[in-house]
Amino acid sequence: MEKSRNILAWIGQKEEQEILNDVFQHVERVLECVKGMKEILQALFDNNMEKKNEYISNVKEAEHQGDEIRRKIVVELSKGLFFPPDREDLILLNERLNDIADGAKGVARLLEFFEEKPEGELSKILLSDGIVAVNAAEKLKSAINALRENEVQKVLEECAHIETLEEEGDDKRRELIGSLVKIEFSPAFTLLLYEIIDTVEDVIDGIKRAGDMVRLLAIKAR
């Protein structure tokens, strides 16, 4: 008789429950990173450089904590408690969560170069894009919590919300590029702003990719 590959069918087993709990802890740190990224953008919008630097430090610390959890998950998955396809799916989800945190830290590092608020509407639109990222990350956290609670329908609903927010992020990126080309910045500053715009977009795209993995795991659980 073929063994079930349904990872959630094993949810009562201590080791598998701990893995999903670790994944949830990982996404909590990821959400801290994304929220911190948004707070940095808020501080930039408020022209509060002291707060900006404080939030940058917070993002770096949250990313470090998430990386420690990521390593722990890799070690646990390497013990062979899961069937190989399920182990691969969870490793990939783990890495995609790490990519989100890395992206948020990347934005934080780029914003270290700012000593004052940029002219025009850019900082306002960047902040609104950061809010989209936070909303998407919160939905991802909710989806992962639903996954560990075996609430498949809720997983699918939250992932659908993430897709809508990812599309909103695409619209914000176009709006940001439109604003960028209308203002005469130095070439170096323009390049820096473009990199920030793209990295925020990468964060939102990364949340969408992680959501796709959560949805895949949920569908397998049916």
pLDDT in tens, 183-218: 888 888 899 999 999 999 999 999 999 999 999 988
Q: What span, in angstroms and rounded, lies between the C-alpha atoms of 121 and 126?
A: 9
Residue 149: is its pLDDT beyond 60? yes
CATH 3.40.50.920 assigned to domain 11-220? The reply is: no
pLDDT score recorded for residue 80: 60
Tokens describing residue 84: 């190989």
Tokens describing residue 35: 């929220």
CA-only gyration radius of the chain, Å: 19
Q: What span, in angstroms and rounded, lies between the C-alpha atoms of 16 and 181?
A: 51
- Burial pattern 24-37, b for ≥16 Cβ within 10 A else e, equals bbbbbbbbbbbbbb
Confidence tier at 41 by pLDDT (50, 70, 90):
very high
Judge whether 102 and 153 are in contact, CB under 8 Å: no
pLDDT score recorded for residue 213: 95
Residue 16: is its pLDDT beyond 70? no
